[in-house]
Amino acid sequence: MAKPPPRSLNVEIPADLEPTYANFALISHTPSELVIDLAQMLPNQPKIRVCSRIVMTPLNAKLMLRALQDRLSRYEKAYGEIIVPGEGDDLARAFFGGQKPSETE
């Protein structure tokens, strides 16, 4: 069976849409939905402020994951590999605490 041709989507982004900066995400799920709370984590601030909540089906979340993987792959080809802190590292310290001193210092 032949694949239907891809349809084009007409996506409208309002001119007055304010961007939301997020550097922290909490992800939870129910059997039918994934919930992504996007937040702003700031240095020396004890609270993390959730600024947006995204609710989507598991299928749409998986499709978004694929799209993000594709876009990050293109980004890394253009700008170099994105280095993620190691498993034992404190992510907040990695992002906001500056560089760790080397062991020889």
Q: What's the domain range around 45?
A: 24-79
**Would you say residue 58 lies in a domain?**
yes
**Would you say residue 17 lies in a domain?**
no
The domain tally of the chain equals: 1
Share of the chain above pLDDT 90, in %: 58
**Would you say residue 33 lies in a domain?**
yes
**Would you say residue 14 lies in a domain?**
no
Q: Which residue has the higher pLDDT, 48 or 94?
A: 48
**Would you say residue 66 lies in a domain?**
yes
**Would you say residue 39 lies in a domain?**
yes
Q: What is the pLDDT of residue 87?
A: 67
- Read off the pLDDT of residues 69-99 as tens digits, 9 standing for 90 and up: 999 999 999 999 998 877 666 665 666 555 4
CB 82 within 8 A of CB 76: yes
Cβ neighbours of 95 (radius 10 Å): 14
